[in-house]
Amino acid sequence: MQNPAADKQRLSATAVLASLPFWASVLVVMPVFVQAPWVRQQPLSACLFGLVLTLAGILWSLKADRSEQGDFGALVLGFSGSWMAGSLFWGWLPAHPVLHVPVEAFALPLALAGLTTRWRCACAFYLASLIGTAFTDLSMALSGVMPLWPEVVTATSDQAPDLLRAAAAQVLTPKSLLVVIVAAALITRLVAVCRSRVDRLGDNSSAWSIASSVLFTTLVIDAVFLGVSLLAPSLSGLI
């Protein structure tokens, strides 16, 4: 005998796995576990892989035309911009945090210009990723953690846990906690704005759905990183 409730749950799970917001979140998480170790070992090949992603995203989007599959192709294209920027910075400039956001913003003019075109989903992913990065870096700077950045990225495996623990402890001071809370509240507000646009636009809200997922996932990753730095700093290198 069929179970309507179970069938509904399976259909719901399938819909989630096939949705743009789900894959946008996956692509935000992927650099943590795939790009980070790759860039440490082979920065040039990691950077060149960004060109592969760019070509794949363009071809996928053009082949699928304006269907939902085309939006998935555009999502890959937007991800390729973030991937290449991350590979450039973490491959050659990791000890210079002041250059992080400028490098990540290398495609900003194209992303802004493309918001009203067929590539709006690509632009939404890239811009939301950039906003999340800017919030994270600004929070680090205002909380006093930024000076420790060069030391952490150049430290040996034995030194890094202590430095990460010191950085996390700095975030727990009253002033730094206030900065973190305000930043988290602002990102949460941006997510809410994006979700309101999704509710208002319905089927035409792909770009807003992507932006919402990217910002929310960025917030979660930052929270996990802070928690791991405090509780198990030896594992923070994975993030």
Q: Output the DSSP codes for 181-226.
A: HHHHHHHHHHHHHHHHHHHHHGGG-HHHHHHHHHHHHHHHHHHHHH
Contacts of 205 (CB under 8 A, 6+ apart): 197, 198, 199
**198-230: burial string, b at 16+ Cβ within 10 Å, e else:** beeeeeebbbbbbbbbbbbbbbebbeebbebbb
DSSP annotation string for 29-70: HHIIIIIHHHHHH-HHHHHHHHHHHHHHHHHHHHHHTTSHHH
User: Global pTM?
Assistant: 0.89
Residue 173: CB atoms within 10 Å: 12
End-to-end CA, the chain: 46
Distance between CA atoms of residues 216 and 210, nearest Å: 10
Distance between CA atoms of residues 195 and 198, nearest Å: 5
Q: What is the pLDDT along the chain (239 residues), one digit of tens a residue?
A: 445 554 444 434 444 445 899 999 999 999 988 999 999 999 999 999 999 999 999 999 988 766 667 899 999 999 999 999 999 999 999 999 999 999 999 999 999 999 999 899 999 999 999 999 999 999 999 998 888 888 888 887 778 778 877 887 888 889 998 999 999 999 999 999 999 998 888 767 899 999 999 999 999 999 888 887 777 665 554 44
